[in-house]
Amino acid sequence: MSLVQWLTPPLSISARNFNRTARQIMFSRFLVVALVCSITQVWGKGGIFPLNDVVPIDETARVDRFPFMIVNPCHDKGDLFVHYSRTTPSEDHRDMRSRRLDLQAVIDDLKKDRNHGQQAISALRTTRGRLLVVDETSETVLCDSNHRHWWRWNPNAEICKSETSKIANLINDVCTQHLDTQPSIIILPLRSVTHIQYPNHATQIVQQTDRPTIEFLNAMRDIPSPLAIAHFNVATTRNNAEFDPSVLALFLSKVWTYQNTGMVFSELHEEGAHQFATQLGIRLGIRLPDVPVYFAKKAQKVNNQLPRRH
């Protein structure tokens, strides 16, 4: 059984009732209150979330394929950068989300498709220094108009298209699955507590723990990583708010997913970043694996438009 299957068991009637209630509760989504002026100041009090600052349900719903996706293979480092959105990409980048994947892991899963797997792998391997459009499409062949929105999103990039919709959709499907199945550490800082999601070192099963925010901050200060502290400060400022207890409990009971475009996950990119998780785990008394680290923060209010076809 895959990790995604393990995280999404069949819904019973009670579970469906719970999900219905959960969606209603989500309409009291938290308001971002800028309360932290610096990481050394005392955390302030938050506010109440107004009804007009809600998470559109489609931001958190799991999908098998994103309507808009573009990938950038970096063969020398073995990385595959995936940029994806539920809405049409635009100049302000507001709705775009990004995730760095292990390129070989994606290729290994593409090999399992006997019909178009090798073509999809070839498309990734021949895409060097360019971005490959893999938008969801029902057309037989992608025409130029299908990726004009990507030129607006990044006018300086060299962009190429997939040969067929089947190749694009296959790459999109596998990358969408790998957003959550590839291991990572997610750090979600709030005013008084910081939550950590990480894969178990031995079993790779996703676990969650939390630490007082001041304890977490003190642990970070002992690690020479100014960028990590900057990420932490920005995320805490964005997330710093008072939650209704029932809403907070519901939010934390869900496994955070990179498919949730109502959140922004910023990866820690710096020299020695691979050592950060190990050092942080030692100071917090938990065993954190050497995997990519992301800081999670609430997204800016998203334009709740339906995807447009071009």
Element holding 194 (H helix, E strand)? strand 193-199
**CA proximity to 54, closest of 86, 84, 87, 32:** 32
Hey, where are the domains in the chain? 17-54+183-298, 65-179
Residue 186 CB contacts under 8 Å (≥ 6 apart), including other chains:
196, 197, 198, 256, 265, 294, 295, 296
Per-residue pLDDT of the chain (310 residues; tens, 9 = 90+): 443 344 344 444 344 444 444 444 443 333 223 333 343 343 333 333 333 333 443 566 678 899 999 999 999 899 999 999 998 888 877 789 999 999 999 999 999 999 999 999 999 999 888 999 999 876 544 445 567 888 889 888 899 988 899 999 999 999 999 999 999 999 999 888 899 999 987 887 888 899 999 999 999 988 888 899 999 999 988 887 545 555 666 666 555 789 988 889 999 986 667 788 889 999 999 999 888 999 998 886 644 444 444 4
Tell me phi and psi for residue 133, to 5 degrees. Answer: -75, 125
Full strand arrangement of the beta sheet holding 159-161: 97-102, 79-85, 68-74, 131-133, 159-161
- Rounded-to-integer distance, Cα 254 and Cα 213, Å: 20
Whether the Cβ atoms of residue 295 and residue 235 lie closer than 8 Å to each other: yes
| 94 to 29, 123, 143, 267: CA distances (angstroms) | 19, 28, 26, 17
Element holding 120 (H helix, E strand)? helix 117-125
Prediction pTM value: 0.73
| pLDDT given at position 255 | 54
Tell me phi and psi for residue 105, to 5 degrees. Answer: -65, -40
**CA proximity to 170, closest of 99, 131, 127, 117:** 117
As to burial, measured by CB atoms within 10 angstroms (0-12 exposed, 13-18 middle, 19+ buried), residue 5 is: exposed
